[in-house]
């Protein structure tokens, strides 16, 4: 008899059960009165909601859903456990009333959720208390973008972010681990451009010794294309990706490599809570070159941005997470399905946010990444999105 594989000791569905059992959503009787503006314990407002619409993905990237864990026997959530589009819209409406201005749809791979365009159309109708439309966007691996781009735009999606970890086909296929060709992702990006989704962003997760040699080719390819390229430090999200600090290429070194080829200058952040440090290309006279565009780096390991973090995350089964590195969630689905009215739902969300003091990356920086990563099991990125 063959011994069970070691990864089965920490399957993701056990983590979901743990999260539900330890969910800390307050009883309705303890819901705090709504404050304007709503802030957490570190005086951070609630501005950004990321909604995972599926826990499934058609890629098996080693840093997110490694094949040895997410194999053919892996137990995904049943359809009945997922929030319906109507439930997602209702929860999102409460978040918007509490200050959320931006909603990003994530997964897994969100374009695998059947009729995702219908959800986008519902969310596109939401308005902030002062009547403004939301910044509505979506992150995708690009595999279905050629097929879906026009319908997404017609439904009301404004812009899109594509995950792409290299241009070399062999490197890309090795990273997605399902033999998917890079040409099809690039074709999807062109389809998104043609459909009017923009600005388009491309995110590259950089792993030292794996795809870091693709930094300059990626920059050359997207420079002047109208696409904003961002390099993301390989993060210690979840418990299944085998993260090691020696595979992290600090963003400062990414910029050094880029500056060995391109003239760059830093740009100011658009708004508080922005995760990317932005850089503009310079022309031969040393002036910003709008035609060349910009790039960015997201330094979630080496330069914590917890102090301005204004993001909440809603899992596909209605667990509210207050940090990408959280180990437990707050059960909103039970509240929604119990018959609670909108005021009670909004009050519970406000109570949860008001008690938030999450700052994992800052603590990791103080303790050292190896020490910080050895604590409680954290929720997987594929479950709550990036």
pLDDT computed for residue 200 by the predictor: 98
What's the 3-state SS for the chain? Answer: CCCCCHHHHCCHHHHHHHHHHCCCCCCHHHCCCCCCCCECCCCCECCEEEEECCCCCCCCCCCCCCCCCCCCCCCCCCHHHCCCHHHHHHHHHHHHHCCCCEEEEECCCHHHCCCHHHHHHHHHCCECCCCCECEEEEEECCCCHHHHHHHHHHHCCCEEEEECCCCCHHHHHHHHCCCCCHHHHHHHHHHHHHHCCCCCEEEEEEECCCCHHHHHHHHHHHCCCCCEEEEEECCCCCCCCCCCHHHECCHHHHHHHHHCCCCEEECCCCCCCCCCEEEEEECCCCCECCCCCEEEEECCCCCCCHHHCCEEEECCCCEEECCCCCCCCEEHHHHHHCCCCHHHHHHHHHHHHHCCCCCHHHHHHHHCHHHHCCCCCCCCHHHHCC
- On the question of pLDDT at 26 being above 70, the answer is no
Mean pLDDT on 346-368? 82
Query: What does pTM read for this prediction?
Result: 0.87
Q: Which residue has the higher pLDDT, 184 or 358?
A: 184
- Identify the pLDDT of residue 149: 98
Mean per-residue pLDDT, 195-202: 96
The pLDDT assigned to 1 comes to 39
**Quick one: fold of 45-384?**
TIM Barrel (3.20.20)
Could you tell me the residue ranges of all domains in the chain?
45-384
């Amino acid at each position: 008899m063959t011994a069970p594989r070691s990864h089965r000791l920490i399957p993701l569905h056990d983590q979901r059960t743990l999260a539900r059992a330890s969910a800390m959503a307050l009883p309705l009787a303890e819901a705090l009165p709504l404050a304007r503006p709503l802030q957490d314990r570190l005086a951070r407002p609630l501005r950004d909601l990321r909604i995972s619409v599926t826990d499934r993905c058609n890629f098996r990237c080693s840093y997110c859903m490694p094949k040895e864990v997410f194999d053919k026997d892996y137990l995904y959530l049943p359809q009945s456990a997922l929030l319906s589009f109507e439930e997602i819209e209702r929860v999102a409406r409460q978040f918007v009333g509490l200050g959320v201005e931006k909603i990003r749809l994530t997964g897994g791979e969100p374009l695998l959720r059947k009729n995702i365009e219908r959800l986008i159309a519902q969310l596109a109708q939401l308005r902030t208390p002062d009547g403004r439309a939301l910044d509505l966007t979506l992150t995708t691996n690009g595999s279905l973008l050629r097929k879906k781009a026009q319908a997404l735009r017609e439904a009301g999606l404004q812009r899109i972010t594509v995950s792409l970890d290299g241009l070399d086909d062999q490197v890309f296929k090795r990273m997605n681990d399902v033999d998917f060709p890079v040409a099809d992702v690039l074709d999807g990006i062109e389809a998104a451009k043609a459909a009017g989704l923009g600005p388009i962003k491309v995110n590259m997760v950089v792993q030292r010794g794996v795809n870091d040699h693709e930094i300059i080719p990626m920059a050359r390819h997207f420079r002047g294309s109208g696409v904003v390229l961002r390099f993301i430090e390989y993060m210690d999200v979840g418990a299944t990706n085998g993260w090691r600090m020696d595979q992290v290429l600090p963003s400062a070194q990414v910029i050094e490599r880029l500056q060995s080829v391109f003239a760059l200058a830093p740009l100011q952040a658009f708004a508080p809570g922005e995760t990317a440090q932005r850089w503009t290309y310079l022309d031969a006279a040393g002036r910003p070159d709008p035609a060349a565009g910009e790039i960015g780096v997201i330094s979630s390991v080496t330069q914590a941005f917890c102090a301005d973090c204004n993001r909440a995350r809603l899992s596909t089964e209605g667990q509210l997470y207050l940090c990408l590195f959280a180990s437990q969630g707050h059960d909103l689905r039970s509240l929604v399905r119990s018959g609670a009215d909108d005021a009670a739902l909004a009050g519970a969300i406000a109570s949860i946010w008001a008690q938030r003091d999450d700052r994992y990356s800052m603590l990791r920086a103080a303790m050292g990444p190896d020490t910080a990563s050895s604590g409680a099991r954290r929720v997987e990125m594929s479950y709550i999105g990036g």
